[in-house]
Amino acid sequence: MLIEEVPLPKKFITLYKSVGVRELYPPQEQLVESGILEEKKNMVLCTPTASGKTFAAEILMAKALDEGKKAVYVVPLRALAYEKFREFHKYEDIGLKVRLEMGDMDSSRYKNRLDFDLLVTTAEKCDSILRSRPEWFQNTGVLVMDEVHLIASDRGPVYEILVSKFQMLFGDLQVLALSATIGNAGELAHWLNAGLLLSDWRPVELIEEVEVGRDKYGKLKKLVQDSVSEGGQVLVFVNSRKSSESVAEKLGEELKLVEEGQREDLELVGEDILSALSTPTTQCRKLRDCIISGTAFHHAGVTNKQRILVEDAFKEGLVKVIVATPTLAAGVNLPSRTVIVRDVQRYGEGELDYIPVLEYKQQVGRAGRPKYDTYGKAILLARTDSEREFFIEKYVNGEVEAIYSRLGVEPVLRFHMLASIASGFTRTENALMEFFRSTFFGHQYGLEGFEAQLKKILNRLEGSGFIKQESRFLIPTALGRRVSELYIDPRTAENYITILGKAEEENRFPVLGLLEMLCDSSELSLLHVKRQDEQMLWEEAYHSSEKLFRDLDGFDLDPRFLERFKTARLLEFWINEVSEDTIMESYNVAPGILYQKLQIAEWLVYSSAELSKLLGFKNSLKEMKRLETRIKYGVKDELLPLVSIKGIGRVRARKLWNEGFKSISDLKKADIRKLKSLVGEKTAEGIKEEINKK
Ligand SMILES: Nc1ncnc2c1ncn2[C@@H]1O[C@H](COP(=O)(O)OP(=O)(O)OP(=O)(O)O)[C@@H](O)[C@H]1O
Ligand SMILES: [Mg+2]
């Protein structure tokens, strides 16, 4: 079907032509012919990787937008959100408002109404907006759920909750669920009361092979060399961060990957990699060295900013090889003609497990994307002939697994139960039951025996003061509503309220104790404590027992205390201005992981300040607010006035302070030349401009 034949207004057709779409891919055509544009039904689109599911969704969104309705496009990962947002930006040219929303989980903080026609958002952010500002989604015509197989992942429950809420709140909404890899797409379609479009058409042929090499690295190196010498780029998947670094390093050292004339550009990317952190760490330097030799590694320990730099350099053809852990797998479009899967085994709970077929198919699906290549090649490495046979059967010819809901566990249930009561969405026990019946969990497992579990959770929520139960009615308290808006686990809030109450009563706010309290949450993953370190940590804890809120000899001290204490120590390092490199070395954490922890800690400390405010704990509020800024910037108390100025972070603030500029008025009086010599020309001017406004 030619693009002109799609029943959409001319402005959309012209726009699509301007970005190079001439005709529809067969699955897109099937979608149009299914009558979805006229009938307003839901649809599950289960077609291979790279088969153009995004554009299929765009056709449906365009129809809704044309009718003056909104479209919401939900993705599971930030990287994907950026990619989609960039892709959808073109709609601004025809006067539509395209927005990207992620991050900040307290959506009640918005000052203005979020004004959009097309919104790209992560699942959690979307749920957060639904909790405090559901009215912003009024008049939504289409809800697209990308990579919907992730319902079966640990972040999956929020996905199904979203769909159920949207469907209950906005009756005539169309849901479009997209995935390349669902074994039970029929079941999903049944749940959504949707049509099902299945296809195995792929615009670019993907050849999947299994190759044998007793020396896996030797084989891999040869394959990379061949592909690059034919002008291709390669993505290698391995099962650990350590391997991704060592393989990238070795390939960079042993192969000639840099083209004439690209060295300078690579050096520039390398510089950006180093300046992503205020002081570059060992890992940053390693990544820079890889980059200038034409390779890169990509894993959760690499910061977001650096990951984007790596992906962009790969897209520009500068970096020839990325060695990644599966964090890179879902949905992204990269010019990787060849994908090599080195490992299909991964350490699970202490032992090696085979990864699901679904994951393998997502990884190899990054090869041969129509924007970049005319064919794709996926090579899975085996050690022996018999392993090869096994891999062909299990992975190449294997069926992807069915997906199952993961909503039915208590921490997840209490989180979403409170939310649904707090936003006034379910006002009775029956309504709550109905709501859970409407989820994928309810559809798959039924609700037999669920009532007892529900009752237990409701009682606990009431015990914590988050809801009231009056006969069958469920009434949120102001506190319960706030906890839900803050997007934290009710159990976390309960923990915080207990300690904050104690601190307020005793009028005692030791920082280490407060940090240990913050770690008492399901949101922050705690540092692991090795057996041999236990003794030393206990000693440290006893030594600081005055600064803690727990009774270290109490029989009720829980087994995770030591992990919390260790994690609190890390946060303490951070706010005492210990350098990032030292923190990472002392605690053996990678930059990406450190920043992730700090970001979560910032959200938790904000939440505890908000709880203090609501509960009227005046001193706690003051202390938590101060701690919030300290965590945000990683500084001691004395630097707080300086970091309030835009452009001044922990390093610059310390430098200024040491030179005697300790307050805003010091800076006002400061000679601009002196400032320039301390923080650089641009920043110095920025500072002057900024403080003149104050
Ligand atoms: N009709 C079309 N004509 C030309 N190119 C198209 C068309 N439809 C999609 N494409 C291009 O195909 C590429 C792959 O599309 P897309 O990212 O939507 O794949 P997908 O089906 O979502 O795959 P995955 O399951 O891996 O996410 C994109 O670069 C897109 O621009
Ligand atoms: Mg996709």
Ligand nearest to the CA of 362: 1
Q: Which two tokens stand for residue 431?
A: 């309504």
Q: How far is the CA of 56 from the centre of ligand 1 (A)?
A: 9
Strands 352-354 and 321-324 turn out to be unpaired
Angle at the Cα of 608 (from 602 to 609), degrees rounded to 5? Answer: 90
Q: From ligand 2's centre to the CA of 100, what distance in Å?
A: 17
> Within this chain, do residues 170 and 263 fall inside the same structural domain, yes or no?
no
CATH number for the domain harbouring residue 453: 1.10.10.10
Which protein residue's CA is at the shortest distance from atom 30 of ligand 1?
A: 52
DSSP category for residue 392 = I
Q: Give me the CATH number covering residue 650.
A: 1.10.150.20
Give the list of residues 6+ apart from residue 242 with CB closer than 8 angstroms, or none: none
Which two three-digit tokens encode residue 612?
């203090």
pLDDT at 639: 96
Q: Is 493 in the pocket of ligand 1 (CB under 6 A)?
A: no
Residue 356 domain-assigned (yes or no): yes
Residues 448 and 433 in one domain: yes
Which of 2, 22, 51 has most ligand 1 atoms within 8 Å of CB, for mutation?
Answer: 51
Ligand 1 pocket, 366 CB below 6 A? Answer: no
CA-proximal residue: ligand 1, atom 19 (nearest):
50
User: CB neighbours of 553 closer than 8 A, spacing ≥ 6?
Assistant: none
Residues 190 and 308 in one domain: no
What is the whole-number distance in angstroms between the Cα of residue 331 and the centre of ligand 2? 4
Maximal CA-CA distance, the chain:
77
Question: In this structure, what token pair is assigned to residue 683?
Answer: 């920043």
* 404 occurs within a structural domain: no
Q: Is the CB of 53 under 6 A from ligand 1?
A: yes
- Which ligand lies nearest the alpha carbon of 46? 1
Q: What distance in angstroms lies between residue 114's CA and the mean position of ligand 1's atoms? A: 29
Decide: 303 in ligand 1 pocket, CB within 6 A. no
Task: Report residue 381: phi and psi, to 5°.
Answer: -95, 135
What is the length of the chain?
A: 694
Asked, for residue 261, whether it belongs to a domain, the answer is yes
State the distance from the centre of ligand 1 to the C-alpha of 47, rounded, in angstroms. 11
In degrees and rounded to multiples of 5, residue 326 shows phi and psi of -60, 0
Residue 332 placed within a domain: yes
- Residue 605 and residue 530 in one domain: yes
CATH number for position 149: 3.40.50.300
> What DSSP letter does each residue of 23-43 carry, written as one string?
B--HHHHHHHHTTHHHH--EE
Which ligand is in closest contact with the Cα of 16? 1
Structure tokens at 290: 């890889």
Please indicate, yes or no, whether residues 100 and 245 belong to a single structural domain of this protein: no
Which long-range contacts link 644-649 to residues 24+ away (Cβ below 8 Å)?
Answer: 645/687, 645/690, 645/691, 646/686, 646/690, 647/683, 647/686, 647/687, 647/690, 648/679, 648/683, 648/687, 649/278
Among protein residues, the one with the nearest Cα to ligand 1's atom 15 is 52
Q: Are 510 and 614 members of one domain?
A: yes
Query: What is the C-alpha separation between 141 and 285, in angstroms, rounded?
Result: 48
Segment holding 462, helix H or strand E: helix 450-463
Nearest ligand for residue 57 CA:
1
Q: Which residue's CA is minimally distant from atom 26 of ligand 1?
A: 49
Are 83 and 222 contained in the same domain?
no
Of the three residues 435, 455, 486, the one that is the final residue of a domain is 486
Indicate whether residue 6 lines ligand 1 (CB < 6 A).
no
Is 341 inside a domain boundary?
A: yes
Do residues 329 and 309 lie in contact, with contact meaning Cβ atoms separated by under 8 Å? no
Among candidate residues 608, 634, 660, the one where a domain is terminated: 634
Concatenating the DSSP letter of every residue in 91-115 gives GGGGT--EEEE-S---GGG-SS---
In a domain, 425, yes or no: yes
| Ligand 1 pocket check for 333: Cβ under 6 Å | yes
* CA 147 / ligand 2 centre spacing (Å): 7
362 Cα nearest atom in ligand 1? 26
Q: 8 near 59, Cβ under 8 Å?
A: yes
46: Cβ below 6 Å to ligand 1?
no
Report how far ligand 2's centroid is from the alpha carbon of 7 (Å): 23
Q: Which amino acid is at 468?
A: K
Beta pairing class for 295-298 and 140-145: unpaired
Q: How far is the CA of 427 from the centre of ligand 2 (A)?
A: 37
For ligand 1, atom 1: residue with the closest CA: 24
The closest residue, in CA terms, to atom 8 on ligand 1 is 52
* Enclosing domain of residue 496: 490-634
Q: What is the mean pLDDT of each run of 10 residues along the chain (694 residues)?
A: 95 96 96 92 95 96 96 90 93 96 85 92 94 93 96 92 92 94 96 96 95 93 95 94 96 93 94 87 93 95 90 94 85 88 86 91 92 92 96 96 95 96 93 95 92 94 96 95 96 97 97 98 95 95 95 87 97 95 91 93 98 97 97 96 90 93 91 89 86 78
**Cβ atoms 58, 34 nearer than 8 A:** no
C-alpha torsion 237→241→245→248, nearest 10: 0
Q: Are 506 and 368 within one domain?
A: no
50 lines ligand 1 (CB under 6 A): yes
Candidates 19, 28, 53, 120: which one to mutate for ligand 1, based on the most atoms within 8 Å of Cβ?
A: 53
CA 332 to ligand 1 center in whole angstroms: 10
One domain, residues 219 and 240 = yes
Q: Same domain for 76 and 194?
A: yes
Question: Where is the domain boundary, 136, 166, 198?
Answer: 198
- Beta-bridge partner residues of 197: 45
How far apart CA 665 and CA 422 sit, in angstroms, is: 46
Residue owning the nearest CA to atom 12 of ligand 1: 52
At which residue do the structure tokens 């797409």 appear?
Answer: 185
Q: Are residues 193 and 213 in the same domain?
A: no
Dihedral, CA of residue 501, residue 507, residue 508 and residue 513, to nearest 10: 10
- Whole-number Å distance, alpha carbon 398 to ligand 1 midpoint, is 24
- The reply to whether 402 falls in a domain is no
Say how many Å lie between the CA of residue 50 and the centre of ligand 1: 5
**Ligand 1 midpoint to CA 403 (Å):** 24
pLDDT at position 329 is 64
* Beta carbon of 280 within 6 Å of any ligand 1 atom: no
Q: Are 127 and 102 a contacting pair, CB within 8 Å?
A: no
Paired with 74 in beta bridges are 121, 145
Which mutation among 2, 54, 149 tests ligand 1's pocket best, with the greatest number of atoms within 8 A of CB? 54
Which ligand 1 atom is at minimum distance from the Cα of 179? 25
Q: For position 605, which CATH number holds?
A: 1.10.3380.20
Residue 405 domain-assigned (yes or no): no
244 in the same domain as 229: yes
Residue 389 backbone dihedrals phi, psi, to 5 degrees: -55, -45
Atom of ligand 1 nearest to the CA of 371: 29
Ligand 1 binding pocket mutation candidate from 333, 334, 373, 374 (most atoms within 8 A of CB): 333
CA–CA distance, 356 with 347 (Å, rounded to integer): 13
* Number of domains composing the chain: 5
Which of 21, 23, 55 for mutating ligand 1's site (highest number of atoms within 8 Å of CB)? 55
